[in-house]
Amino acid sequence: MLTLYTDPNTISATVHVLLSELGVPFEVVYVDRTADSFRNYRTPDFLGINPKGLVPVITRDDFILTELGAIVLFIRSLAKKRHDIFPPKGEVELRTVEFLSWLSTSVHRTIGAIFRPEHLAFDENIRKEISKYAIRLLPDQFLEIERFVASFDWWTDQLTIIDAYLIPYFNWGTGLAISMERYPTWRARMRLNLERPSVIQATYCPS
């Protein structure tokens, strides 16, 4: 059976959602940045699984896979149902990959600067300035998300891989008190999916 190492507050929630929606059997290990145990990102036990000290991680016996893009490709190969989560071949698939690549690099880098500025600077004052700048930048990047969602013509009334990717970003925006009403099409997609059992489970933080 697959094991998913995840932190519900991170992009690894996307993997949790996809596995649940596709009916792939898996078990969950929650990894916490603060726990003084195996579950901490930086303990020797977890670093033995992923030396980069990051989630998500998927394991099956001796097989270990990290990085969201690679894990999504692996999950797609396991899917026995709900193939409509993934776009059809051709331009729609290319546009999907193009958008998700931008999301995972440019926008995720901004999120990292907000929540983990210590990865970018040693000086505490510089860290604060980095976070402030990133918070100012994020609403404009969210507008780009809104434009994409509003103009893209591949949508169903079911959750798609784009929705699964966007759920953590929407939750981060809400948590940062960004006015998500500015992004009505994106917000409508999230309202369609945030109450799905797979999403609730993936974003739930156990005590």
Domain 2-83, what fold? Glutaredoxin (3.40.30)
Average pLDDT, the chain: 92
Q: List, in order, residues 6 or more apart from 150 with CB less than 8 Å away.
A: 185, 186
User: Average pLDDT for residues 15-36, to the nearest whole number?
Assistant: 87
- Asked if residue 146 has pLDDT above 90, the reply is yes
Confidence at residue 41, expressed as pLDDT on a 0 to 100 scale: 77
User: Average pLDDT for residues 21-39, to the nearest whole number?
Assistant: 80
Highest mean pLDDT among 20-24, 156-160, 186-190: 186-190
Q: How far apart are CA 12 and CA 8, in angstroms?
A: 7
Domains 2-83 and 85-196 share a fold: no
How would DSSP label each residue in the chain?
-EEEEE-TTSTHHHHHHHHHHHT--EEEEE-BSS-SSTTBTTSHHHHHH-TT--S-EEEETTEEEESHHHHHHHHHHH--S-GGGSPPTTHHHHHHHHHHHHIIIIIHHHHHHHH-GGGT-SSHHHHHHHHHHHHHHHHHHHHHHHHHHHH-----SS--HHHHHHHHHHHHHHHTT--GGG-HHHHHHHHHHTTSHHHHHHH----
Confidence at residue 207, expressed as pLDDT on a 0 to 100 scale: 60
Class at the top of the CATH hierarchy for domain 85-196:
mainly alpha
User: Average pLDDT for residues 46-63, to the nearest whole number?
Assistant: 93
- Asked if residue 34 has pLDDT above 70, the reply is no
- Asked if residue 177 has pLDDT above 90, the reply is yes
Q: How far apart are CA 20 and CA 201, in angstroms?
A: 9
Read off the pLDDT band of 46 (50, 70, 90): confident
Task: Name the residue ranges covered by the structural domains of the chain.
Answer: 2-83, 85-196
